[in-house]
Amino acid sequence: MNSSELRTASDLISKASRVVSFSGAGLSAESGVATFRDANTQGVWTKFDPMKLASPQGFQDDPKLVIDWYADRRRYVAQAQPNAAHVALASRGEMQHITQNVDDLLIRAGVDPDILIQLHGTIASDHCHDLCGYEEAINLSDPPSLHACPRCGGSMRPSVVWFGESLLPEAWNKAEQACIECDVLLVIGTSAEVYPAAGLLDLSKSNGATIIIVNTESSGASHLADLELTGNAGEIIPHLLR
């Protein structure tokens, strides 16, 4: 950790009137939740085919495979604990948080679920894939196996955004607004390779925000960074927000 960069970033954050965090899988990595694209930390997509497990086509082809995979991840997340970065973010009640993460670790750290923007949805609920509107909360410790929608007989599935699916308009509109209005966008643990989410960083930058990136390595957003702090989120974020 470079202490002068850390001090500069910390000053920028404390002087800003609106700070927004934008996080990805790296935020939860120190809680033991696997990232997607890290070859060296066994990212999920280095072992599994995303189109088989996280796309509507994959679900149609082999729904049991998909639901069993989510059941494993749900049980894993249930046992994971928020790390120091989640806790530090939650301690800043005035900050708006946008996350691509589908886990519930920011919420368990204390972020108000009503103001958290989960761009790619959540594994803490299921909904009917056949869009009758039926939804149910999921106990992550005791996740369901493949089951039918009690309302229409369709297929229940996790309320996450798969490849090729649109993000929920409400979450997207709120995220765009927050990224336009903030003075500082604190980008934590994302490869910034998945769109449209990664496009929010360009939006913020073009609206005048200072972009501070915290990541263990360079990412697809490095070229947008005013300050790039290299290291673990769990070590850097508590210093930055103290």
Provide the 10 A C-beta neighbour count for residue 238. 16
Q: Could you tell me the smallest distance in angstroms from the CB atom of residue 17 to ligand BJW?
A: 26
Beta bridge partners of 185: 20, 211
80-99 mask for ligand BJW (x: CB under 6 A)? --------------------
Among 128, 186, 197, 212, binds Zn ion (CB under 5 A): 128
Residue span 194-213 as binding mask against ligand BJW, x where in contact by CB under 6 A, dash where not: xxx-----------------
Is residue 156 near Zn ion by the rule CB under 5 A? no
Closest CA to 177 of 20, 16, 25, 27: 20
- What one-character DSSP code corresponds to residue 162? P
Q: Of residues 156-195, which lie at the interface with ligand BJW (CB under 6 A)?
A: 160-161, 163-166, 189-191, 193-195
Q: Is the dihedral of CA 75, 78, 79, 80 positive or negative?
A: positive
Does the footprint of ligand BJW cover residue 143 (CB under 6 A)?
A: no
Q: Which is nearer to Zn ion, 129 or 174 (CB)?
A: 129
Integer Cα distance of 34 and 53 in angstroms: 15
Nearest to 224 by CA among 232, 215, 235: 215
Candidates 50, 63, 144, 154; binder of Zn ion (CB under 5 A) is 154
- Partnered with residue 157 across adjacent β-strands are 127
Residue 82 binds: one of Zn ion, ligand BJW, none (C-beta under 5 to 8 A by kind) = none
Q: Does 152 bind Zn ion (CB under 5 A)?
A: yes
61 close to 151: Cβ distance less than 8 angstroms = no
Q: Which of 110, 151, 196, 199 binds Zn ion (CB under 5 A)?
A: 151
| Strand order through the sheet with 156-160 | 135-137, 121-128, 156-160
Judged by CB under 6 A, the stretch of 1-9, 32-40, 88-96, 201-209 that binds ligand BJW is: 32-40
Which residues are catalytically annotated?
120
